[in-house]
Structure 1
């Protein structure tokens, strides 16, 4: 049996207060009215919105009392330089719907409420709800309709857009944060998103980089939407990573990207660029009949599991001369064209090969992100796409963290159901063995960081 996730002190205090009220009988009258249909809990005129309104107005009065320096009704109030001056009505949007508040005023005009700041038309919880819905893949118009149908709050398209844009500073800060000096392995993969470009909607590649640090922990280093094809774009990405503190990378595992190896070599000359074997296999299978794919996969396996480069070439030559190789020459050509970038990992022992031969670490994340982005149609700009992807990554990781927390401390004999981390914070399998082999292969570059 799974245990509930631990509750925060505020949640425990709230639960205790509710239990005490129920035990005291103070809520009996309220429950009777609800049962009789005389009182509704939520919606316009409901008890919960009224309770929140009363709590907010009481808090505002406390703030004004602190500001003036005396309690309401104090007989010595006339001796103070400032005094109360009625209230101003203000309509704010909240998680429970619209609230019509009475904001207290002072004669001096110096009172600045903190609980409901001047100029604000929404309470913070509503903004958090909107951002969460946006991160879950809902469009701005979907959110607009959802708020109207659930809590009766009708926010404009522009307002919701401004709320979601409020996280752009966080995205920028995350995208510019300092990085480690050395990442033994960086994985790079992309997913296609539709972005408006003038009067047209174009397919663009949103590239996500994941770096494995010296402790084997994976980190999403950044998200880049490709503006132009080739070396110029990748030179900018590599320069950005270098400016953020990355001085060396041992191995970069990626799909065959035009101009990427050249950009890597100009930024980190000693870095090995390794083509993702899984991507290579997919490319080789592209024109293979479905009924022959299992046979082709079995025939290609000796190539990427060979002991060394020469043995791999012999296996490729054998495959090319076989009936399947003759029937599907495109599969042979795929390996021949990628040979220079495919073979580097063959020089490493099996434990290290398993770490670097595929970008599956990112592909699992991209699979989740595609589920979020497929309902979006298209994005108005590159920045909007990056914002959405960043929010989605945070949302996905938070969900898994909550699932893991619920199972923590449960029956260990019960099979775990909560998913592990997708990327951020995940520890690479068998990293200690891989790191020891990297230290032997690159002693001068890795030992100073051990």
Structure 2
């Protein structure tokens, strides 16, 4: 929609807009007029005739107006809402019992998700909008999303997934009244049709085969019968849990994490050389060649770093399960 700039200048001059506060009042008044005009249009559509025209509706007609206060991004606003005699008119632009048209609820939920306390949110909303929210009101707003979250967590999944990725992300979260770093593990599935979706989010206090087995069993309880490939980090106990729950699935370990773990205790001056020798293993064209390169690596470096070759011998098949699959 293109505005007539000359008319806008005239309106601003008539309203004596000189400061940002004046502009906010001007915008609030304009928004009020627009909403009330839309109200009138909705009522006309509901009754089937315009104001001052003959009444063609079946016993229903206009019945004055009622005042309603709402919170907007420009501050509090008082609207005049038209009524009908049969009380069947239900406006859509600002619904019945809706008292906030600023999107404050969405902002409260967003701030809550970022770890802010109820009192912090209350002060933040007041600083921005001048709108007073009690900590109890903040709790009511945030509690609204809990049923939706539970429904999403327990939704049914597909029977078969081609690949499931499991990885972690460090986020700040309020725990026991204090904000600290926690790791959220997310499970991403790719269906046989190639569609990607998040299957679940998990907060793990400890990494163990027992914990990961509960995650695997939850996936099965939600309808998953088979997963062709798991692509995972080298998390403690993850391989054992996958094998127990999905014995036919192949496990693809993350090469990047394996390399980082291998270089963790290598002095800086030798890291480049060790990394180059490790690349010969994971860049091999076949599993046999990879094992031969691993033997050569062990012969060269076991005297200094014996745990590296031991780790790669344990993980070489999971790391390369997709690379060396027969065509």
Tell me the distance in 1 between the aligned counterparts of 2:77 and 2:285.
Answer: 71
What is the deviation of 1:50? 0.7
1:30 matched residue in structure 2: 11
Change (3 A) 1:35 1:333: farther
8 A contact 1:60–1:103 mirrored in 2: yes
Counterpart secondary structure, 2:265: coil
Tell me the distance in 2 between the aligned counterparts of 1:118 and 1:36.
Answer: 33
What is the deviation of 1:280? 0.9
Could you tell me which of 94, 99, 115 is aligned with 1:121? Answer: 99
Tell me the distance in 2 between the aligned counterparts of 1:166 and 1:85.
Answer: 35
TM (norm. structure 2) is: 0.76
Residue-by-residue CA offset, 1:14-41 (whole Å, 9 max, x unaligned)? x24x2xx44xx54342143478738966
8 A contact 2:43–2:82 mirrored in 1: yes
Change (3 A) 1:298 1:212: same
Change (3 A) 1:331 1:92: same
Counterpart secondary structure, 1:281: helix
What is the deviation of 1:297? 0.8
Residues 1:47 and 2:62 aligned together: no
Report how many residues are paired. Answer: 325
Tell me the distance in 2 between the aligned counterparts of 1:239 and 1:110.
Answer: 51
Tell me the distance in 2 between the aligned counterparts of 1:36 and 1:120.
Answer: 30
Counterpart secondary structure, 1:335: helix
- Structure 1 residue ranges without an equivalent (≥5): 1-14, 350-436, 438-450
- Structure 2 residue ranges without an equivalent (≥5): none
Residues 1:348 and 2:321 aligned together: no
Tell me the distance in 2 between the aligned counterparts of 1:108 and 1:34.
Answer: 39
Tell me the distance in 1 between the aligned counterparts of 2:78 and 2:97.
Answer: 15
What is the deviation of 1:146? 5.3
Residues 1:234 and 2:218 aligned together: no
Tell me the distance in 2 between the aligned counterparts of 1:171 and 1:39.
Answer: 40
2:309 matched residue in structure 1: 332
Could you tell me which of 254, 279, 298 is aligned with 1:276? Answer: 254
- With 59-68 and 154-163 compared, the bigger mean Cα shift is at 59-68
What is the correspondence of 1:369-388 to structure 2 with a 5 Å cutoff? none
1:430 matched residue in structure 2: none
Counterpart secondary structure, 2:277: helix
Residues 1:96 and 2:96 aligned together: no
8 A contact 1:304–1:346 mirrored in 2: no
Tell me the distance in 2 between the aligned counterparts of 1:207 and 1:51.
Answer: 48
8 A contact 1:34–1:40 mirrored in 2: no
Could you tell me which of 167, 177, 181 is aligned with 1:189? Answer: 167
Change (3 A) 1:311 1:64: closer
What is the deviation of 1:250? 1.3
Residue-by-residue CA offset, 1:239-297 (whole Å, 9 max, x unaligned)? 33334443321111111233333332333221012221111111111112233222111
Alpha-carbon RMSD across the aligned residues, in angstroms, is 4.0
What is the correspondence of 1:117-266 to structure 2 with a 5 Å cutoff? 117-123=95-101, 125-128=103-106, 137=114, 139=116, 147-160=125-138, 162-193=140-171, 195=173, 198=176, 204-226=182-204, 229-266=207-244
8 A contact 1:131–1:164 mirrored in 2: yes
